[in-house]
Structure 1
Amino acid sequence: MDLSRFQRRGLLGAGALIAGAVVVRAQTVERGRGQLWFDPTQLPSFSGVVERYLINPEGKTDRLLFREGPQILFPEHVAEEMERTVPTGRSIIVYGIRARRAAAITMLAWAPDNEAPVRFVDRPTWTFPEFRTGGEPLEVEGEVRAPLLSPQGDAIGAILGDYTVIRVPIGVAGALGDRLNAGKRLAAVGQGATVQGKGRALDAERIGEAKDKLQPLPPPVERPG
């Protein structure tokens, strides 16, 4: 994914931060709850238009899609304020860390525009989230819009064309290969959640290219180092 179309502000990499090349910004930083021990506005920033907020199989919102492609990952407890302040179709500035392998950005701070205070994110999504799921049996099918990504950029499932989320363990995603790639047909059944106005998400128990070709999840494989 070419991120050159995004406006970048602050430092262009963690190496510059460590070296002490600090850029002082005039933008106001919101103080109080969620304040980090460092200033995340010194990190790279990514501007884009919110295409869709996505739920996880527990029914909680924990990521968004930029219209330009990247996935922005954040803890569930900041979702309500984000959705209220930056609804779908509006632009947002995100400060965070981009994974090396894919366009997955762990959000550490955000702002709706250059004039607004920057909101810190407490308890960022540093690691792969704990698997929690809803109790609703779901059966879904459609064309893959994009792989579902972990904070490290690993595939952990797929996002369908209607924004339905299919999640699988990282090792299983590796075993599925290109079946999680954009443009592929994918079907799955499993436990998850449906949220009015936000869509569906499930943890796959059986998966295949169509509902009549579902198979149990393959054994996990180790990702090459």
Structure 2
Amino acid sequence: MVSLVDPMRLLLSFPASLLASSIAVAAPAAHHASSSQYAAHQTVTEQQAVGVYDLSGLPQFSGKVVQFLPSPHGSVTGLVLEDGTQVLVSPEQGHTLAGLVKPGDTVSIRGLKARTLPLIRAFGITSPRGRGMQDNFISMPQQSTEMIAGPDIVLHGEVWLSLYNLDGQVTGAVLKDHSVVYLSAREASRVAAWLKPGQPLYAVGTGSSGELGTAIDAREIGPSANQLTGIAVGNGPPPGPAPGSAGYDIIPGSEEH
């Protein structure tokens, strides 16, 4: 004899099975929606990671980040790896880099390494968390011509690294306390002996100091506070004799007549 309970159980179980199948169908949609929301949130970063150019043909490097290379204007020009290699990016990518990695991270880099100098021009950087950026700019300004207004910042300590630009020219120094002193390549060549690793350095100039680091455009520099020489900032003319000195009132070239 057929029990009447069985059809009832069948009818009662039907909504439950329908609900379960609805959840099973809806689950991928929910996952897709969350993925879309994440992608939308990461739009800028993902576009930078993909970029316009295929970087797979460029050499790949890796290393642990020790510090950022802050600019005197408060942005970031690159970073320094644990082995002292300087990794440079364009100014347009500086703030993206600062939000992508942090000191202590081991990063993957696609770029071009200098033949003999500890220098990499990075076109792609990936963090250990899998996020990346791609720099499509082939060239970058070597030094800002903008003058910085503000109080002087005094930096002093032992030089850790000579600072380079993309042409491989010395343009300053990174001190052991991670602060950065910038000079024009012309002025740096004039005081090159003071910018070598291990040398004591005292520098005065305007710049910025914040979470990303401290950097100045040096206006005076020397091995100590008592041995300072004037430095031309940017592309300005070299400084003349100090006020009160023997040559202060002499117009260059006039003594020949």
Q: Do the aligned partners of residues 132 and 98 (structure 1) sit closer, same or farther apart at CA in structure 2, a change above 3 Å counting?
A: farther
Structure 1: segments with no counterpart, 5+ residues? 1-29, 221-225
Letter in 2 for 1:68: D
User: In the alignment, which residue of structure 2 is the partner of 1:131?
Assistant: 145
Q: Note if contact 1:101-1:153 (Cα within 8 Å) is conserved in structure 2.
A: no
Length-normalised TM-score, structure 2: 0.65
The residue number in structure 1 matching 2:75 is 60
**1:148 — aligned with what?**
163
Structure 2 equivalent of residue 50 of structure 1:
65
**CA displacement at 1:125 relative to structure 2:** 4.6
Q: Distance in 2 between matches of 1:190 and 1:84?
A: 27
Alignment partner of 2:189 out of 174, 178, 186: 174
Matched length: 188
1:164 is aligned to 179
- Looking at both structures, which has the greater relative contact order when contacts are Cα pairs under 8 Å and sequence separation is at least 6? 1
Q: Whole-Å Cα distance in 2 between the matches of residues 85 and 193 of structure 1?
A: 21
Q: Which residue of 1 aligns with 2:217?
A: 203
Q: Which has the higher strand share?
A: 1
**Corresponding residue of 2:51:** 35
CA distance in 2, matches of 1:130, 1:32: 27
Contact 1:167–1:202 (Cα < 8 Å) also in 2: yes
Pairwise CA RMSD: 2.5
Equivalent-residue separation in structure 2 for 1:208 and 1:166 (angstroms): 12
Any runs of at least 4 consecutive aligned residues in structure 1 with deviations exceeding 4 A, and if so which? Answer: 124-127
Identity %: 25
TM-score normalised by length of structure 1: 0.74
SS state of the match for residue 78, structure 2?
strand
Confirm or deny: 8 A CA contact 1:157 1:180 kept in the other structure: yes
Structure 2 unmatched ranges of 5 or more: 1-44, 239-257
CA contact (8 A) 1:104 1:152 kept: no
Q: Which amino acid aligns with 1:35?
A: G
> In the alignment, which of 213, 217, 224 is matched to residue 231 of structure 2?
217
Larger Rg: 2
Q: Which structure's residues are more often helix, by fraction? A: 2
Q: Using a 3 Å threshold, how does the CA distance of structure 1 residues 49 and 103 change in structure 2: closer, same or farther?
A: same
User: By how many angstroms is 1:118 displaced?
Assistant: 5.1
Report the secondary structure of 2:144's partner residue. coil
